[in-house]
Amino acid sequence: MRRLAGAIDIGGTATKIGIVADDGTIVRRTTIPTSTSGDPLPLVNSIASTLRPMLDATIAERESVLGVGVSVAGFLDDAHAAMIDNANLPALCGFPLRRALEERLALDCRLEVDSNAAVVAEARHGAGRGARRLLGVTVGTGLGGGVMIGGELLRFTGACAGDLGHILLDPAGRRCTCGAKGCFEAMVCSAAVSERAGGRAIRDVIGGAHQGEPSAVDALAATGWWLGLGLASLAPIFAPETIVVGGGIGTAGELLMEPTRASYRAHASRELRESVQIVGSSFDGWEGIVGAASLFLDPLD
């Protein structure tokens, strides 16, 4: 019998929910909006009421679920019981998320930083397989980065590699949700892409770019320029063999990746230009739940 786990990926705009098998296959999936109100309970209740029928259907098919992995944007406390810092999800900061979900789902739950979950998914089942030193970045409402070295997660600040989205790229750039100006995150996030495309929704920008609309193509190209610059700034720190770009913006595929690689080559040192491979995720934005499920299916710690 295959081994299964429930999985939740809480992002700044949307929350992905599903059931994942031990080979990385997503068996069931759906998406709900992430509530931005000051009260975290409506979001927690919505997550539980959405995942519970999936769990019941799985059990009805005589398959067992080992537990529920939860990927959340932000730093975690030492016990991995709560998220403690993220400007895009202030309502969840300090909230006992693990306990609240366990009470509603009657299953063991484990929390992981979303950037860590994403890079684990890429390392085990995605575009990062075989890389000894792997940097994964997810670009959406915010930007997160996870690092794996020799199959182990780098845990430095907040149970992850730190807040890589808040290195400064342009002191005169966009205001970030953290309060600074010109952060990596601020220059490549979904809000920045939307602004470059005249306020269009991200799905319309990406869809328009695939159909050759010049304004949409230009918006992604400009975003790729900043993304490549940010990756060139991080590469000397982590010396990755492979960089995988995922998240909602990453679903633009080569329309984003081609200008990103060009910018990276223009800004990186000769050694890092030649030694680093930059690829897009193969999960179409769902890497977070695949990595979250691994907390039960193939735990690192």
**Which residue stretches of 66-113 are H helix?**
97-105
Looking at residues 22-39, what average pLDDT do you find? 92
227 alpha carbon, distance to own chain's centre? 15
DSSP state at residue 174: P
Q: Please, what are the domains in the chain? A: 4-114+286-297 (3.30.420.40), 127-280 (3.30.420.40)
What percent of the chain is predicted at pLDDT more than 90? Answer: 93
Where do we find the tokens 């800004």? 267
Residue 202 Cα distances to 220, 222, 298, angstroms: 10, 14, 33
Q: H or E segment at 120?
A: helix 114-125
Where do we find the tokens 């770009």? 245
**Closest of 67, 73, 82 to residue 117, by C-alpha:** 73
Residue 195 Cα distances to 174, 188, 192, 250, angstroms: 10, 11, 5, 17
* pLDDT tens digits, 145-175: 999 999 999 998 889 999 999 999 999 999 9
251 and 206 Cβ atoms separated by less than 8 Å: yes
Looking at residues 60-83, what average pLDDT do you find? 94
* pLDDT tens digits, 232-288: 999 999 999 999 999 999 999 999 999 999 999 999 999 999 999 999 999 999 999
Give 294's contacts (C-beta < 8 A, 6+ positions apart): 5, 69, 117, 120, 121, 124, 300
Confidence of residue 86 (pLDDT cuts 50, 70, 90): confident
pLDDT reading at 87 higher than 90: no
* DSSP per residue, 154-168: ---BTTBB--GGGSB
Taking the C-alpha atoms of residue 293 and residue 277, their distance in angstroms, rounded to an integer, is 27
260 and 228 Cβ atoms separated by less than 8 Å: yes
- Residues in a beta bridge with 28: 19
